[in-house]
């Protein structure tokens, strides 16, 4: 399982996302987190592929790319909720 975070690094949400990732790395295994800039070609393709309508967006994905959970918008999920996908599905 991996966690993909789609966001805009130059936005008002950037610090919340970066703090979440920093704290997550401190508390849990963060080796499977991928940050993607929403304004890049890869970011646009990811948003389109997973039909993401709001940023920041976090996707818990299986290794084959299947979606386990999606969180979108200003309210970031609890770290333990995200970590449960890493432990239970990874």
Burial of 3 (0-12, 13-18, 19+ CB in 10 A): buried
Residue 12 has pLDDT above 50, yes or no: yes
Q: Topology of 2-89 in CATH? A: Glutaredoxin (3.40.30)
Q: What is the pLDDT of residue 32?
A: 83
pLDDT digits (tens, 9 = 90+) for 17-67: 999 999 998 888 767 899 999 999 999 999 999 999 999 999 999 989 899
pLDDT digits (tens, 9 = 90+) for 72-83: 998 999 999 998
The strand pairing partners of 72, in sequence order, are 57
pTM for the whole structure: 0.90
CB atoms within 10 A of CB 71: 18
């Amino acid at each position: 399982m991996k966690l993909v975070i789609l966001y805009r690094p130059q936005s008002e949400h950037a610090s919340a996302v970066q703090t979440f990732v920093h704290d997550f790395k401190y508390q849990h295994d963060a080796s499977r987190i991928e940050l993607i800039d929403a304004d890049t070609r890869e970011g646009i393709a990811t948003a389109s592929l997973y039909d993401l309508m709001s940023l920041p967006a976090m996707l818990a994905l299986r290794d084959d790319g299947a979606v386990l959970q999606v969180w979108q918008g200003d309210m970031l999920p609890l770290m333990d909720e995200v970590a449960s996908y890493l432990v239970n599905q990874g």
